[in-house]
Amino acid sequence: MNEISFTGVLILFASFLLGIKFPDWDLKFKLKHRNILTHSPVVMIFFYKIFKLENSRDFRFFIMGFSIALALHFIFDLFPKGWFGGALLKVPIINKTLSPAGSMTFLLTSTIICVFIAVSYTKNFTEFIILFFLGLCSLIFNIKKEKKMIRPFATFGIIYVVMGSVKYEIVFRYFTRGVLALQRFVSEMMTAI
């Protein structure tokens, strides 16, 4: 924990709490629910520009927390009760609703981009682990409300580990060991059949 300041942790948590609710602010902005302006990483481009102007160490924590929170919100939105009506993403100006396949693709792509942004802004493995546990705690906390567990956990875990293996060698080593063990297991199962 010496690698991350107390202020950084506070900013990370505060921005996470803000980011997890931000996509549903489309209603506050008088937009249709699940609008692509709030259900995409568009706002992260704005924050990226501010970060480049300010080059603030503390704002980096804000970007990490907000981005991972957006990703988690999008992950829950990836698994609605059905792909119709309010589950579909809306495109303003042209007043269009994306198809179920378009909505799924857009949300998954937005999730991957947000996780990539969050992981890329980590400067050390401690920050990477803190973000991971923040994500897991959010998933656990929202199980009852969202009535979903396995698919959100698996989606977050896979995307986060893949992105982490790109940045951190230790994650890459464990990831490749896991993939090789899975290949051996499948091979043995196929041989046994």
Interatomic CA distance for residues 152 and 135, integer angstroms: 11
Q: Give 10-residue mean pLDDT values along the chain (193 residues).
A: 76 93 83 83 84 78 94 92 82 87 93 94 91 92 80 93 88 78 80 77
Query: pTM of the prediction?
Result: 0.85
Residue 44: its pLDDT value, please? Answer: 84
- Judged by DSSP in three states, 35 sits in strand
Task: Identify the burial level of 154 via C-beta atoms within 10 angstroms of its C-beta, where 0-12 means exposed, 13-18 middle and 19 or more buried.
Answer: exposed
Count of residues in the chain? 193
DSSP annotation of 167 reads H
Q: In the chain, at which residue ranges do the beta strands (DSSP E only) sit?
A: 90-91, 96-97
Residues 6 or more apart in contact with residue 119 via CB below 8 angstroms: 128, 131, 160, 163, 164, 166, 167
One-letter amino acid at 185 equals F
Find where tokens 């010496």 sit. 2
C-alpha 114: how far from chain center: 5
Residue 20: its pLDDT value, please? Answer: 93
